[in-house]
A and B are shown apart, each in its own frame.
Chain A
Amino acid sequence: EAEVAQSPRYKITEKSQAVAFWCDPISGHATLYWYRQILGQGPELLVQFQDESVVDDSQLPKDRFSAERLKGVDSTLKIQPAELGDSAMYLCASSLAGGLQDTQYFGPGTRLTVL
C-alpha cells in the first residue's frame, strides 16, 4: 500500500536554529497538507498545496515558517528561527484532488523538540 513518507522522524534543536522537514506524498496525489499537532490537541492546518501552488497558508506563521513544493511532488517545510513553542508533531498528508470527500492520508510525522 502506498504511503506518505516523512523525514526525519525526530528532530531536536536549540531555539534560534533552523530546521527543515521533508514530505513525499502518495504518487499521483495532487494535494499536499502540512499540519502541526500539539500534544492533546487536534491537527492544525499550516499550509495546503494543490500541485505546486499554495491554496491556503492563512495559519502559517510566515515570519518564521516557509513551505514549498517546487515540482508539485515532494515538499519541504522550514522553520527559521525555531522557538520553544514550535515543539510539536508536524504531520504531512496528501489526497487525490483536495476535495472534501477525498480521504487524507497522513505520514508518520516529524516530532520536533526545541530546547
Chain B
Amino acid sequence: RKEVEQDPGPFNVPEGATVAFNCTYSNSASQSFFWYRQDCRKEPKLLMSVYSSGNEDGRFTAQLNRASQYISLLIRDSKLSDSATYLCVVPNAGNNRKLIWGLGTSLAVNP
C-alpha cells in the first residue's frame, strides 16, 4: 500500500450536492491527519486537522477510520467556490515528524 493514496478524480458534482473523498494511509501509528485545499495555480491552505475520530467545520466533515486506515472528507451543500484540489496529508512511517502529501483529489462543482 502506498503511504498516502487518494482518488485523483476529477469529481464533477452539481451545486448543492454532497460529495465525499477518501484517503488511505499505510502507517497504522499515525496520530494526526490533515486536509489541505489548493486552488488552481495557488498555494495549499489548511482546511481541517483530524486528531481523533473526526472533525466538523460547517459544511465540511472529516472522519477517521483507524481500523481500515482511511480518512474521509465530506462536503455538504457544495458551492461553486468549493472547486479545488483537496490534498490529504499524513505523517510518514518511521518518522513521525515528516508529513507525506497525497496527490490530491480534484473537485469541480458545476452550476
Contact = CB atoms under 8 A, between A and B. Distances in A.
Contact of B97 (A44, A98, A106): A98
Contacts of A40: 8, 103
Contact of A100 (B4, B46, B99): B99
B26 to A, nearest CB: 15
Contacts, number: 46
Chain B, interface SS category: strand
Interface string A25-43: 0000000000000001111
Contact of A45 (B42, B51, B98): B98
B43 A44 contact: no
Contact of B43 (A42, A45, A56, A91): A91
Contacts of B31: 100
Given A43-B87, A101-B49, A107-B43, 7 more contacts: A45-B98, A99-B97, A100-B31, A100-B96, A100-B97, A104-B99, A108-B43
Interface of B: 4, 8, 31-32, 41-46, 49, 51, 87, 91, 96-99, 101-104
